[in-house]
Amino acid sequence: MRTLPCLLLCGVVFLFVGLATAEGAESPIQVADAWARQAPMMPTMGHMHGDTGTGAVYVTLRNTGATPDALVGASSEAAEAVELHETIRDGAVMRMRPVGTLALPVGGTLTMAPGGLHIMLLRLKRALRPGDTVPLTLTFEHSTPLTLTVPVR
Amino acid sequence: MHARLGLVFLALLALLAVPCGAATPAFRTSVLEPPEPAPEFTLRADTGKTVRLRDWRGQVVLLYFGYTSCPDVCPTTLSDLADVKKQLGPRGRQVQVALVTVDPERDTPKRLRTYVQAFDPAFVGLTARKAALAAVWKAYGVYVQSHRVPKSADGYIVDHSATTFVIDPEGRLRLAISFGTPVADILHDLQLLLPR
């Protein structure tokens, strides 16, 4: 007797997640575990528009389609610029570099995590506080762009 | 007969070795041995006050070198340290976390203060003139290299050692925590160093 409401609930949850994370046509790119690190707004020297900050978003992408694809960029109304970056461990030193595109081979998973690949939000327009959400649009080489609502924690 | 005596001797040695081994606390992060006095410094706190390392004697000091425009490694470390402090409960008040900037050009005291307080209101940001800071980086063996990134809107990025140094209540440098160390391991080691 309990299975039916549960199934209905699951269906509603899936529908909600689908609506919340992707816009437009069904994309072969699956998004999971998107989150942004909290980031404050800070006084910035020489910055004419007042306080600003720097943030990072982590996301896991999976290409379920039949053709290779690539993440080529990202944008957000919460930041003046968004870039794909990678942190590389070199002994005790952590080096960060912008990366051009990130390949998404057929069936491949691209995992972003602290101390590795991340989407960097430059010159934030507002603070990212735990519990907030931040909109983020991912652009791909072939697939249609995906707009996510990313929770801040 | 000699062989049996040898075995008895070895067994006795083993009995002696066990309590000795147990007497040294088993840390999970990298232990710096022998414990030497941590390099002393005088820096400017984000409040504008002058801070000397010895002002924090009696507390466990966690010293991290980073910068406020760092989006990935620094906030990850500071979030983990804030989490550790929270899990320590009232004992967390005996832990002083300090961020020494590796980017004095951009990190003004006001900026440092806003940044560290987003993680924990008791965290402190430290800065100084470049030469004075460079001496502290060198004393702790911290690598700092800033470089322009033409492709990035960021202007420049600072590559830096991401180690957290742990100084015990007697002012001795005891542990080096590398980036990505689980919070549970840091918590475990701090509980061994904190005064009872």
Distance of alpha carbon B148 from alpha carbon B34, whole angstroms:
39
A56 closest CA partner among B149, B65, B76: B76
List the pLDDT tens digit at each of the 153 positions of chain A.
Answer: 444 454 444 444 444 444 444 444 589 999 999 999 999 999 987 655 578 999 999 999 999 999 999 999 999 999 999 999 999 999 999 999 999 999 999 999 999 999 999 999 999 999 999 999 999 999 999 999 999 999 999
Q: A-B interface: how many C-beta pairs under 8 angstroms?
A: 101
Q: What is the 3-state composition of chain A as percent helix, strand, coil, each rounded to the nearest 5? A: 10, 50, 40
Token pair of B46 as six digits: 């984000």
Distances (CA, A) of B84 to B28, B71, B103: 15, 20, 26
Class of domain B26-193: alpha beta
What residue segments make up the domains of chain B, in order of their start? 26-193
Topology given in CATH for the domain delimited by A3-151: Immunoglobulin-like (2.60.40)
Question: How many Cα atoms occupy the beta-carbon half-sphere of B160 within 13 Å?
Answer: 28
Selected for mutation to probe chain B from A38, A51, A76, A94 (highest B CB count within 10 Å) is A94
Return the pLDDT at B179. Answer: 97
B94 closest CA partner among B131, B62, B69: B62
Answer whether A43 touches B (CB < 8 Å): yes
Contact between B71 and A123 using a beta-carbon 8 Å cutoff: no
Contact between A45 and B149 using a beta-carbon 8 Å cutoff: no
CA distance A120 to chain B (A): 7
Contact between B180 and A118 using a beta-carbon 8 Å cutoff: no
User: What string of H, E and C letters represents the secondary structure of B105-155?
Assistant: CCCCHHHHHHHHHCCCCCCEEEECCHHHHHHHHHHCCCCEEEEECCCCCCC
**ipTM, two decimals:** 0.84
Residues of A in contact with B70 (CB under 8 A): 54, 96
In chain B, what percentage of residues exceed pLDDT 70? 86
Distance of alpha carbon A32 from alpha carbon B133, whole angstroms:
42
B169 closest CA partner among B139, B194, B134: B194
Token pair of A19 as six digits: 């609506």
State pTM to two decimals. Answer: 0.85
- Structural contact between residues B27 and B189, judged by C-beta atoms closer than 8 angstroms: yes
What's the rounded mean pLDDT across residues B112-128?
97
Out of A40, A45, A114, the one facing B72 most closely (by C-beta) is A114
Return the pLDDT at A95. Answer: 95
Mean pLDDT (chain B) is: 90
- Structural contact between residues B67 and B107, judged by C-beta atoms closer than 8 angstroms: yes
What's the rounded mean pLDDT across residues B165-185?
98
Give tens-digit pLDDT for B49-74.
999 999 999 999 999 999 999 999 99
- Structural contact between residues B126 and B98, judged by C-beta atoms closer than 8 angstroms: yes
Answer whether A131 touches B (CB < 8 Å): no
CA distance B56 to chain A (A): 26
Distance of alpha carbon B120 from alpha carbon B64, whole angstroms:
14
Distance of alpha carbon B137 from alpha carbon A113, whole angstroms:
28
- Structural contact between residues A143 and A27, judged by C-beta atoms closer than 8 angstroms: yes
Contact between A37 and B108 using a beta-carbon 8 Å cutoff: no
